[in-house]
Amino acid sequence: MLRSWKPRPMTLGAMRDEPRTATRAPWQRLKVSRPPGYRDRGACGRRRGMVRGRARPGERSRPVCAAPRAGGFFPTPRSVMLTNQTVVFAGGGTGGHLFPGIAVAEALRAAHADIKPLFLCTTREIDRLILEPTGLAFMEQPIVPPQRSIGGLLRFWRSWRGTREMVKRMLDERRPAVVVGLGGYAAGVAVKLAAERRIPTAIINPDVIPGRANRYLMRHVAKVFCQFPQTSRYVSAGYGAKLVVTGCPIRRELRHLPERSVAAAALGLESHLLTLVITGASQGAQTVNEAMLAVLPRLKLQGWQVLHLAGRDHAAAVSREYHRLGIGARVIDFTPRMEQVWAVADLAVCRAGASTCAELTACGVPAILMPYPYHRDMHQRANALALAEAGAAIHVEDMKDAQRNAAALHPLLESLLRDAGRREAMAKAARAMGHPDAADRVAEALGSLA
């Protein structure tokens, strides 16, 4: 505990030798927030509601909010840092960005009943479909992804300004304990504004190769939570000390899968049949859909059933094609209950997004990974190679052509569908890579930051 502050008697020596220290208020000495309404002479003419903190030698001063944090002017003991506080998770646009944040939010609420998680997501429908069933509070940011065209850049600039004003109001009103970036264009505004207000910040970087947003935000955050140790190869030396390998957070339900018979009944499947799962993640993957529709008629599927998560925009067309081919596949567009999917999965063909890789390894599902081929940095390829090097998956390049992809997949699927021993060896290697406790580890680290 800090000693209560008492004014010292002023002497001529003190006034002459240390005039600044002798007259500084306690909040100035401790470098914590000033009390409401406090103004100094240097604050005149600056932005309303903002004051300047004194910089250390050699540093530029940075703006901090004048309003104190909950609990008074002085630091709160670590054991109650997160009690009755808002924790903001910024990001969205895909399930891969949202699912790790949801997992951490659930872990925080399990440890601190008064925690109020708030998600700053995008206006994409997938965000609402994922977040609404969880019961977690969320706000839709009007920001749109940047594009290279002049019109696209102008739209991004206008949406960025509106998002900035919305996030500023939220931060000033709620004073969150910590702000966590989940990656992507929807994370940048909140993390940067929080850092300017000296609100503790962190980012979750589940891919081997950090994306552009995370690379930019690393300078503004205290911690970068990673899934793969290989990430250190792609980070500037100055930020290496911020990396913490925790694994990618997954939801609590994925740590304790339901019984196979229960999950099969919920998905409309037969529990006694082996299940081939095909998924392109939360939005589906057209080239994966086309490749599997081209290769499945060539395979002998005796004893197997197919569960195909085709994506909201493709499910109807994929279902019609299965009907035309005479293959009795179960086609769904999307499900937030991935624990049911992995509980019945004996083999998967899927993309190599970070959340997908985390779920495969935590649940011990052998997989053929077809990384998304259009990213400039090819980060899904790096994820797939990390699993392939460990023997947990097989990496197949997506050649963007259904027949060429089918030719590459055919011998692999034909072998794996028949070879239970190889599938079990891959499943064992996957489980050895998994971090099922990643959400708890990240939640604990966030508590120490606040």
Please list the rounded mean pLDDT of every run of 10 residues in the chain (450 residues). Answer: 44 39 41 44 39 43 38 35 78 90 94 92 92 93 84 82 92 94 92 95 95 91 95 87 94 92 95 94 84 94 94 90 92 91 97 94 97 87 96 95 94 96 97 95 89
Please say whether the beta carbons of 209 and 384 come within 8 A: no
Q: How far apart are CA 50 and CA 196, in angstroms?
A: 11
What is the token pair recorded at 399? 């050649």
Same domain, 105 and 211: yes
Q: How far apart are CA 406 and CA 401, in angstroms?
A: 8
Same domain, 186 and 82: yes
For residue 72, being part of any structural domain is answered with no
Same domain, 339 and 372: yes
For residue 147, being part of any structural domain is answered with yes
For residue 3, being part of any structural domain is answered with no
Same domain, 241 and 257: no
Please say whether the beta carbons of 396 and 437 come within 8 A: no
Q: How far apart are CA 115 and CA 136, in angstroms?
A: 11
Same domain, 281 and 185: no
Same domain, 234 and 276: no
Same domain, 269 and 348: yes
What is the CATH classification number for the domain harbouring 147?
A: 3.40.50.2000
Q: Phi and psi dihedrals of 48, rounded to 5?
A: -60, 135
For residue 85, being part of any structural domain is answered with yes
pTM: 0.75
Amino acid symbol at 58? G
Q: How far apart are CA 283 and CA 300, in angstroms?
A: 29
Number of domains in the chain: 2
Q: How far apart are CA 204 and CA 236, in angstroms?
A: 17
For residue 52, being part of any structural domain is answered with no
Q: How far apart are CA 362 and CA 401, in angstroms?
A: 31
Please say whether the beta carbons of 372 and 350 come within 8 A: no
Q: Of the candidates 136, 110, 96, which has an alpha carbon nearest to the alpha carbon of residue 359?
A: 96
As beta bridge partners, residue 202 has 180, 223
CA 304 centroid distance within chain: 34
For residue 33, being part of any structural domain is answered with no
For residue 48, being part of any structural domain is answered with no
For residue 326, being part of any structural domain is answered with yes
User: In 268-353, which ranges are continuous DSSP H helix?
Assistant: 286-295, 315-325, 338-344
pLDDT score at 40:
44
Same domain, 215 and 331: no
Q: Strand 63-65 vs strand 50-52: parallel, antiparallel, or unpaired?
A: antiparallel
Amino acid symbol at 176? P
Q: What is the domain range of residue 153?
A: 78-248+437-449
Same domain, 238 and 270: no
Q: What are the strands, taking DSSP E only, across 9-115?
A: 50-52, 63-65, 86-90
CA angle 125, 341, 229 (to 5 degrees): 85
Q: Of the candidates 450, 408, 161, 115, which has an alpha carbon nearest to the alpha carbon of residue 287?
A: 408
Same domain, 188 and 219: yes
Same domain, 198 and 306: no
DSSP string, 336-374: S-HHHHHHH-SEEEE---HHHHHHHHHHT--EEE---S-
Number of H helices, E strands in the chain: 18, 15
As beta bridge partners, residue 88 has 118, 179
pLDDT score at 239:
86
pLDDT score at 144:
84
CA angle 318, 324, 327 (to 5 degrees): 80
Instruction: Determine the straight-line distance between the first and last CA of the chain, rounded to whole angstroms.
Output: 17
DSSP string, 105-157: HHHHHHH-TT-EEEEEE-S-HHHHHHHGGGT-EEEE-------SSHHHHHHHH
pLDDT score at 160:
84
DSSP symbol at 70: T
As beta bridge partners, residue 120 has 90, 139
Q: Strand 86-90 vs strand 116-121: parallel, antiparallel, or unpaired?
A: parallel
Q: Of the candidates 248, 249, 250, 245, which has an alpha carbon nearest to the alpha carbon of residue 231?
A: 245
Same domain, 228 and 274: no
Q: How far apart are CA 163 and CA 133, in angstroms?
A: 25
For residue 65, the SS3 value is: strand
Please say whether the beta carbons of 428 and 313 come within 8 A: no
